[in-house]
Homo-oligomer: A and B are copies of this chain.
Amino acid sequence: MEAAAATDEKLGLTPWLTFRIPSSFRKLVDKLKAITWKLKKIAEDDPRRIRHSLKVGLALTVASISYYVNPFFSGLGASTMWAVLTVVVVMEYTAGATLSKGLNRAFATLLAGAVGVGAHRLAALAGEEWKPVFLSLFVFLLAAMATFSRFVPEIKARYDYGVLIFIMTFSLVAVSGYRVEELIQLAHQRLSTVAIGVAACLAISIFVFPVWAGEDLHNLVASNLDKQAAFLEGVGKEYFEQKLANYKNLEGASFLTSYKTALNSKVIEDSLANFARWEPGHGRFGFRHPWKQYLKICALTRQCACSIDSLNTFISNQEKTQVVSDPEFQQNIRTACSVMSSESGKTLAELAGAIREMRSPFAAAGHLINATSMESSVKTMAPSQSATLSEVLFYATTVNLLLEVVRKVRRLLDAVEELASIAEFKRPEQAKSAAVKRAVEGESSPHVVVDMRG
């Protein structure tokens, strides 16, 4: 230490500095490492994010390069900035969102330009002196009315951005100049550049590694169902089926918490469905794919998750206080619960698989029947005299909560079957032959039963 201090003095550094620099430097390095790790994780969670970032860069570069090389663009002069501006605000993550924003922007600009020119003509009737007064009045009235229209839920959901662009363009046109001829030329220029910007965005978001809102919604619905299925199958197998299983021991199992994501995904689902409606047909989805039915399934999935949550909270809160006083009764109830839970889980897994593979959920009804068939038998299981009251109460509630889950699963089955029929998913025969084909080709298809004798 002394030697080090001596060296420092020789170098003219105070010891304070020598000891501070490395430590704060290390902190900085740690912080940078943490940030890098975080960014890496964000990229790995969904590699399409990297692609999207590059696409935005590409779209912008295309728009700016055009400015340098294209004579048409140079002719448009200062309006070129509208192409750049349009690209920045219109380019969204999913193709549907880009389409929605792009079309909203293009049509709102067109409409506002026309209304603006009309307002100029109208105000001109009052004479040159009063023109600014009338124009200001028009801006006030139209802006106030258009802003109010944004509170209408239907407009908010689909045309919010268009209304905003309408207000903006109208105000700009109203303010921007005096002579109508100039205005028309300006409006024409601006519309062309906005159209070029929108076209560039649409082309890139539809043809270069497209991210479809519809496909995301489709997969989200299936994965939410899968998570509920994982909970029910997990609890059925690892808790109810095991004689001495303790719920506490399951702690840390991912299925105990993963089902909760469905509870808070309403907003994502709504916006995906909203954007999906703007998308052209792509891959397995037609233009008029019934996205609304997906929202119905989402709502039922959330209700199912809520029932599962009650079951989960109840067992984890109450189970530790239980004493086994009537082993036979307990064993019977647990076996029944295991069947109800596992079979409901299998039903949901089949529904998820059916959605994913766009086929009819033909194996789901069978599993659901297995689950519901327990209801009548479990209701006749009487405890013996040795059973403690608290034990009876615990299992009674557990069974009732499970039955509630089974009820929700039945409604989900109905909704998915409705989807399969509206969206014309593959019927059993078609699905079977497809499954056979896949099996021959060596792919695995966990939820499809290949019955060659059928």
Contact = CB atoms under 8 A, between A and B. Distances in A.
Interface residues of A, number: 74
Tell me how many chains of this kind the complex includes.
2
Given A135-B64, A176-B81, A379 B404 contact: no
Contacts of A313: 307, 404
Nearest to A153: B42
Nearest to A174: B64
Interface of A: 38-39, 42-43, 49-50, 52-54, 56-58, 60-61, 63-65, 67-68, 78, 80-81, 84-85, 88-89, 132, 135-136, 139-141, 143-145, 147-148, 151-152, 164, 167-168, 171-172, 174-176, 263-264, 266-267, 306-307, 309-310, 313-314, 317-318, 379-380, 382, 389-390, 392-394, 396-397, 399-401, 404, 407
Specify the main secondary structure of chain A where it touches its partner. helix
Nearest to A132: B68
A56 B171 CA distance: 12
B85 A168 contact: yes
B132 A60 contact: no
A341 B296 CA distance: 32
Contacts of A54: 144
A140 B88 contact: no
Contacts of A267: 266-267
Given A152-B42, A393-B379, A139 B57 contact: yes
24 contacts: A42-B152, A49-B151, A53-B147, A57-B139, A57-B141, A61-B140, A61-B143, A64-B136, A65-B132, A65-B136, A67-B175, A68-B136, A80-B175, A85-B168, A85-B172, A88-B143, A88-B167, A264-B266, A307-B313, A317-B404, A318-B400, A379-B393, A382-B389, A396-B396
